[in-house]
Amino acid sequence: MTHILQNVVFPIDRDPDLLPLYADAETWSSIDEESVRMSARAHLGNVLGRNAVRVVAGRRVSFGTYFNAFPASYWQHWTAISDVRLTLHTEGDATLLVYRSNGAGVRQRLHTAEVTGTASTTFDLKLDQYSDGGWIWFDVVADQSATILRGGQWSTEQEPVRSGKASIGTTTYNKPDYCVETLTALADAPEVLELIDRVFLIDQGTQKVRDEDGYDAVAARLGETLQVIDQGNLGGSGGFARAMTEALQRPESDFIQLLDDDVRIEPESLRRSIVFGRYATKPTIVGGHMFDLLDRPKLHAWAEVVDDYPFMWRNLFQEVMPHDFGTQNLRQTPTLHMRMDADYNGWWMCLIPLEIIREVGLSLPLFLKWDDAEFCLRAGDAGYTTVSLPGAALWHVSWVGKDDSIDWQAYFHARNRFVAALMHSHAPHGGHLIRHSRRVDLKHLMMMQYYAATLRNRALRDVLRGPAHLWETLPTAMPAARALAAEFPETVTHRDRSVVMRSRFGRQVFKRSKRNEFDSPTGMRLRLFTATTLISHWFHQPKPANVEQAEVEFGKGDAQWWRLPLHDSVLVSAADGSGKNVFTRDRAKFRSLLWDSIVLHAKIRRRWPKLAAEYRRAMPNLTGADGWQKIFDANS
């Protein structure tokens, strides 16, 4: 029996920015590169459907692209498949060329075939030389008239290790429009739905998905496959834990496919991740990559890892991320040909075998932040791998226009990082975590971000309370953190220019800082700068005029921790450009928050071994179905 591993697909949306992810017209050259790019762009008019594309007479199109190349190294390394067949369906006279790459991105030709008329051409390919990395792809060169590629598949005759379906679990808080769009994309993809048992939509918002335009129509199309569950807002971890719980009760489901709410999916990616999960030699968490929903050729997350020192997440090879496929294609980017091993995958798109959940438990009750990383680390400790699978991705609003480290989420960033480290760090006292956390506090305080510093101190106090606080504060920590913002003027985003930008005499009073007037200090200069800044903030009272009116304006990119402390008050653009925030020096708050930070970090360091043992003993209770069920019952 033939099993399709991957279909050749083209974009659902008629968006020219998406085309580089699916097809590359001609082969880009380093010689006169800009003119080649301008003349060789693929055109929307040549995309004839979801699986069909026209190659214009005399032109060459490569499908060595993110969504249409085959990630051979991943299939060789994590599955037992040894042979794969590429089948191409064409109309017209053309030359078909099949290529491979190695882990260094070096290209080699494998096969060439001349086709005429209507043809189905197969290429049998061995998966035996891709241990370090490498893709397989094909090019189509049209002859004297246009050639139409009517479809293509990467397939195998080998049987999968497991054959169960997947349930989809998505949780939402007031994103009903996104949810309806996702459900519609699923309803339009029968090849995906045949692998889906249930779609669990956990609605935790006040703007219900059921009330959104288009919901009734798509719900009728999905029928009993769709199940909407209302509950109080327990954050991403609570919503996903509910979806996991529901999927565990489905005998036909072998997997739960987690999806964020504010995303746009590529349905073929869901299909690929489920098929990969079926073929994985051992139960494997299969993650999808993240493209920027507002800059759609730009890849933000590939393989992600957690460094034990200082216990912090990052992209593997983060110096090359984000990667813009609109300016540099897959074949031009050697790094993307490596097999990259991940520690975890974000829950914007992540397939988890239910047998892993049965062994290691559900999500930790963290509300949001670190729940995905902690789960994968926990699974890793139990011997299960996380694979971030190339060619499986979606579009998610990136963090470019956000700064959640200084809003109410600062509490969860700090608390959950410490909780995860207490449970999983292999380094004494969490390695450099405590030192790094103190530095983060110092930066917030020097930048007059007292709200964020207050939330971080609250987070450390809760960590010291022990693991029971996670259940106690799950429904209340977020509203409490948001309510606290009212006590801090810097949290107000001013959108009326007349309020902020001009004095009472109508004159503009702000000057913009020069970007390079003071660079980031390092070495001895950093130590001296930090010491003098802390002393200044401890003793210096701001001038009354600077309290009444900010003395300097910074763009968001200029508002660095080594620039803001030089002033009594600053006006800073919001991350999303919607307005401006005013940060003003407050000696009393600075003193109090700095002392609290020093004391709290010292306590955590002193009590680290005891706390770590306490949190690790509590793991079964914190991730067990019984504890979660009590929370669900109380918040239904």
Residues designated as active site: 372
Of 379, 371, 344, the C-alpha closest to 237 is 371
Distances (CA, A) of 269 to 8, 97, 405: 11, 25, 31
Residues 313, 425: contact at Cβ < 8 Å?
Answer: no
**Cβ neighbourhood burial of 147 (10 Å; 0-12, 13-18, 19+):** buried
Residue with token string 């069920």: 629
Residue pair 126/108 in contact by the 8 Å Cβ criterion: no
CB 385 within 8 A of CB 299: no
What beta strand segments (E) does 271-382 contain? 284-292, 295-301, 304-307, 312-315, 323-324, 349-353
Q: Is the peptide bond before 190 cis (omega within 30 degrees of 0)?
A: no
Could you list the beta-strand ranges (E) of 382-532. Answer: 385-396
Q: Are 240 and 246 spatial neighbours (Cβ–Cβ below 8 Å)?
A: no
DSSP E strands, 92-235:
94-101, 107-115, 118-126, 136-142, 147-156, 165-172, 196-203, 226-230
Cβ neighbors of 292 (< 8 A, separation 6 or more) are 298, 299, 300, 322, 395, 396, 397, 398, 400
SS (H, E, C) 444-463: HHHCCCHHHHHHHHHHHHHH
CB atoms < 10 A from the CB of 528, how many?
11
